Amino acid sequence: MLVLTTFSISTLLLHYFRGERIDYIDNQIRQTATSIIDSELTDLRAYDYEKVDSIISEELGPDRIDKFFVIRTNEGKNLYKSQSIDLLNLEIPQSPQWVTLHKEGRMIRAVNLKLPRSKTRTLQVGVISDDNFFHLVNIDEETLLYIVATLSLFLGMTWILSASLFSPVREVAGYMKDATRSLDLNREIQPLPGNLLVHMQGPLVNKTDEFRSLLTSISTFTGRINAIRIFTRQWAFQMAHEIKTPLTILNRDVERLAKTHNLSEEETSALSENVEKVSRTITNFLNWAELTNQGQAENLHVIKIQSTLARLSPNWIKIFGERLSIEGQTDFQLMCNPDHFEQFLNNLVINALKYSNDNVQLRVGSHSLEVSDRGPGIPESVLQKWGTPFNKGPRSDEVEGTGLGLAWVKTVAEIYRWDLKVHSDSSGTKITTIFPEIATDKD
């Protein structure tokens, strides 16, 4: 817009400048033509060059130097032609009244007037000038400097005013990005910052202040989102607690009914397994919810990666066989709650083994762990809602799971500020966790 404004102003300035110079020349031509018509020239019956030159010189004096004169008949015959126009070998049309011609880098501006005492003769008076005379290049340095300074000042003020005007809009955009990130991280949206609240204070100068109305709407909207979020979370936790107690009672009733009605062990086991599955899901959800609400690490210990892997890997091999390979002998220390890390690692490895029929690699690097598989990959719809409980892909019916595993993984990584990177496509999934270094004394 600034460039367009500069170009527009320059074009208007050039048009004005050109028009003013043409008006100046036209006025000179009018005055010259009037002097000639009022002179003895119109009384001459025959024209000779010396007589006409003498009359023109007497009437105009030095003003004749930059002008040309032509006297023609209606049939186009030249009765008199000044030397300046004769050298250009150019015929001036007798119509319209004002004529503008360009030839060899020169501009010819002329007026056609009928001599009042001889209607069959036309007087053509004009000026020959360089085309550059009408361009800005002929402006003197002082004027050009003034024009440049004025334009620079205008553009500078426009830039400052634009930056000032759109600064609050950029602040709103930044706030909305932070609010969206808070929703993605399942966190409460922070209220409007002070630099935006100032726009909502003070007297309302304009009843249709759209920006203040926008801020008010955003503040109301985010407040309602937070209220709904708190209500939904409390309702979900309460419901989970309320369901867990009847499930415990139901499990005991199944055992009692099995004895009373002599149910087979297979029937009893199926009933108990389903009840236990629901109870386990609720327990996992409550554990995740407690961790999310806690929002900070507690009961921290320094643990060693290789020791934790040595303790957990036999269980993985017992359930899934020899499909898991652990690479890398690097050992490093990590500050966290041991239970959180074990659950974090269990979820990563078991998910990879469950959703892949091929081998799974766990690589230990320098302060990093990488779990990769050759499964079908995590669907984009699941990745977009990463960290949301019960977020499962299309294979959820084939593979037993609740979708809480990845939610736990992301929540733990956020609490301890671990850098979690996920790459997934149709050839498999690779999840890399980079842990911060900690300063501890050597054993």
pLDDT for the residue numbered 170: 87
- On the question of pLDDT at 348 being above 80, the answer is yes
Average pLDDT value over all residues in the chain: 80
Report the CATH number at residue 95. 3.30.450
Whether the bond between 96 and the residue before it is cis, its omega within 30 degrees of 0, is: yes
pLDDT for the residue numbered 141: 75
340 in the same domain as 263: no
pLDDT band, very low/low/confident/very high, at 369 (cuts 50, 70, 90):
very high
108 in the same domain as 35: yes
Among residues 246, 269, 294, the one where a domain terminates is: 294
What does pTM read for this prediction? 0.48
Q: Average pLDDT, stretch 334-339? A: 88
Whole-number Cα distances in Å, 391 to 226, 324, 349, 401, 420: 21, 25, 18, 10, 18
- On the question of pLDDT at 443 being above 50, the answer is no
Judging by beta carbons within 10 Å of its beta carbon (0-12, 13-18, 19+), is residue 235 exposed, middle or buried? Answer: exposed
Exposure string of 359-369, with b = 16+ CB inside 10 Å and e = fewer, is: ebbbbbeebbb
263 in the same domain as 198: yes
Whether residue 152 is contained in a domain is answered as no
Three-state DSSP class for 2?
Answer: helix
Q: Average pLDDT, stretch 271-279? A: 73
Q: Average pLDDT, stretch 376-382? A: 84
125 in the same domain as 24: yes
**What token pair was written down for 349?**
């490895």
Pick from 369, 373, 374, 372: which is nearest to 328 by CA? Answer: 369
Among residues 294, 315, 349, the one where a domain terminates is: 294
75 in the same domain as 49: yes
Q: What is the pLDDT of residues 152-163, one digit of tens each?
A: 888 888 888 888
Q: Return all residues near 76 (Cβ < 8 A) that are at least 6 apart.
A: 91, 94
Per the structure, the complete domain to which residue 54 belongs is given by 2-138
Q: What is the pLDDT of residues 54-79, one digit of tens each?
A: 887 877 777 777 788 888 888 888 88
Whether residue 153 is contained in a domain is answered as no
Whole-number Cα distances in Å, 308 to 336, 340, 345, 407: 12, 12, 9, 22
Whether residue 160 is contained in a domain is answered as no
* Distance from C-alpha of 120 to C-alpha of 73, rounded to nearest angstrom: 6
Q: Domain count for the chain, please give it.
A: 3
Whether residue 333 is contained in a domain is answered as yes
129 in the same domain as 52: yes
402 in the same domain as 328: yes
- On the question of pLDDT at 5 being above 80, the answer is no
| Residue 15 identity | H
- On the question of pLDDT at 266 being above 80, the answer is no
Q: Return all residues near 92 (Cβ < 8 A) that are at least 6 apart.
A: 70, 85, 99, 101, 108, 110, 112, 124, 126
pLDDT for the residue numbered 198: 82
Whole-number Cα distances in Å, 64 to 31, 35, 89: 11, 11, 20
Q: Is the dihedral of CA 341, 342, 345, 351 positive or negative?
A: negative
106 in the same domain as 10: yes
184 in the same domain as 119: no
252 in the same domain as 205: yes
- On the question of pLDDT at 416 being above 50, the answer is yes
Whether residue 14 is contained in a domain is answered as yes
Whether residue 143 is contained in a domain is answered as no
**What token pair was written down for 267?**
């029937």
Q: Average pLDDT, stretch 127-153? A: 73
Judging by beta carbons within 10 Å of its beta carbon (0-12, 13-18, 19+), is residue 189 exposed, middle or buried? Answer: buried
Pick from 18, 58, 47, 27: which is nearest to 125 by CA? Answer: 27
Whether residue 47 is contained in a domain is answered as yes
Whole-number Cα distances in Å, 122 to 41, 69, 187, 266: 12, 10, 91, 125
Whether residue 151 is contained in a domain is answered as no
12 in the same domain as 123: yes
- On the question of pLDDT at 437 being above 80, the answer is yes
Among residues 294, 328, 353, the one where a domain terminates is: 294
249 in the same domain as 172: yes
Report the CATH number at residue 424. 3.30.565.10
Name the helix (H) or strand (E) containing 207.
Answer: none
